[in-house]
Chain A
């Protein structure tokens, strides 16, 4: 199954209009201002907007109609069940998956998974994937001329403990060039895929690093239009999580949303 994934070179993904960074940055600003006006006028707007033209590959891939509000049924209020047998402990350490040690800045990221009421979500699966320290993904489609690291794949999994906590050891990813516009660079990030206790809470997101100069330039980060929401995706450097002569430490807490009905589901478990 997994062998059938597409391997078209990434150059085919280039946006045809080849906009400049100045144009993209201006579009991002206009879009954010427009969304703020609409919210001021009383419209309810999602934290991440699907319709965000500065992210060029979204143009034909976002729905144009409003999402239909529906009462979740039981299948949507529950979620696949996970346990420690679903992942091996070694899968949460991305630096020990090969014969040698990967190059780059060794780091740990740990945090707590909770629902919107602050209740920890135990036994939930978290999957991560990322570029290596040079900003290169192992994916065949990534043609970025930065070196692959034979000792780094960049994928890991963990199941949260009884307190909802997870921890990964990895290498800090590098920034990564792409073809959304001319001279487009993604801020360094780690992709997170998270299961909550309810299928409605399913979350795929990206964790960023403090102080990245690329934040304002990146159309994907800015599909989240409120500054406060964007800030919540920036991992927090925590010196107490840094281990002497070993690894820097970051904290990234994750809050999954859900309709009010999920309050009862979590209560009963």
Chain B
């Protein structure tokens, strides 16, 4: 089946500006799962600018599969009920540029390495940026992933989280600079 031509011009994006906090905040938005739920994992890191300074007015969104690799279709990402897994979370960076999510480690799609889909927004960033945050644990899957295989080692490193203390996942995002995160177009 072929895809017909697109007929409408897409609405272009704009920066979130400096004052998004009161507009897009909601309760427990970074708790994709309850922090004390079995299997909860802390995914956190710092958003940096091109001078290596933390970005305190950014936010990150993630959308991830459940541990079996199934994409959640349940409602309730904006009204947490403590038992429905929606896979979606939103985290503002704090004054140190750090974002944190409590979530589950996603399972992989067949033949692919497991990752969180992620989007970054910030004051000073004219439009959203898509990226991925891959889990570091399955070296064979990472090596075999068809997208990661198109990247050089330096680029690949910007997309793979690391394991910090207590099995936390650590992942910094660099908007610009030598180790600039690989951002995606679809």
- Given the known A-B contacts A6-B56, A72-B186, are A137 and B11 also in contact in the complex, defined by CB atoms under 8 Å? no
| A70 to B15 alpha-carbon distance, docked (Å) | 23
Contacts of A155 in B (CB 8 A): 22-23
- Which of A21-29, A100-108, A199-207, A239-247 lies on the face that meets chain B? A199-207
**Are B182 and A204 in contact, with the CB atoms below 8 A?**
no
How many A-B pairs with Cβ below 8 Å?
267
| A81 to B76 alpha-carbon distance, docked (Å) | 7
Q: Which of B19, B129, B151 has the most CB of A within 10 A?
A: B19
**Are B19 and A118 in contact, with the CB atoms below 8 A?**
no
**Are A220 and B183 in contact, with the CB atoms below 8 A?**
no
- Residue in A closest to B108 when the chains form the complex, CB atoms: A73
- Given the known A-B contacts A50-B127, A137-B19, are A76 and B186 also in contact in the complex, defined by CB atoms under 8 Å? yes
For A62, give its contact among B27, B31, B123, B125 (CB under 8 Å): B125
- Residue in B closest to A225 when the chains form the complex, CB atoms: B12
Interface size bucket, B side? 35 or more
Interface residues of A in 181-207 (CB under 8 A from B): 191, 193, 199-200, 202-206
- Asked whether B184 is an interface residue with its Cβ less than 8 Å from the other chain, the reply is yes
What 0/1 pattern do residues 231 to 269 of A give for CB contact below 8 A with B?
Answer: 011000000000000000000001111111101100000
- Asked whether B44 is an interface residue with its Cβ less than 8 Å from the other chain, the reply is no
Contacts of B30 in A (CB 8 A): 1
- Given the known A-B contacts A2-B25, A139-B22, are A256 and B11 also in contact in the complex, defined by CB atoms under 8 Å? yes
Taking A70-B184, A142-B18, A258-B186 as known contacts, 11 extra A-B pairs with beta carbons closer than 8 A to each other, sorted by chain A number, are A55-B15, A60-B50, A61-B122, A62-B176, A138-B22, A199-B63, A204-B128, A220-B126, A223-B127, A230-B12, A263-B3
Ordered by A's residue number, 5 sampled pairs between the chains whose C-beta atoms are within 8 Å are A48-B12, A59-B124, A71-B186, A74-B109, A139-B22
Which residues in A have some Cβ–Cβ distance to B below 8 Å? 1-2, 4-6, 8, 10, 13, 46-50, 52, 55, 57-65, 67-76, 78-83, 85-87, 114-118, 125, 127-130, 137-139, 141-142, 153-155, 157, 191, 193, 199-200, 202-206, 220-221, 223-224, 228-230, 232-233, 254-261, 263-264
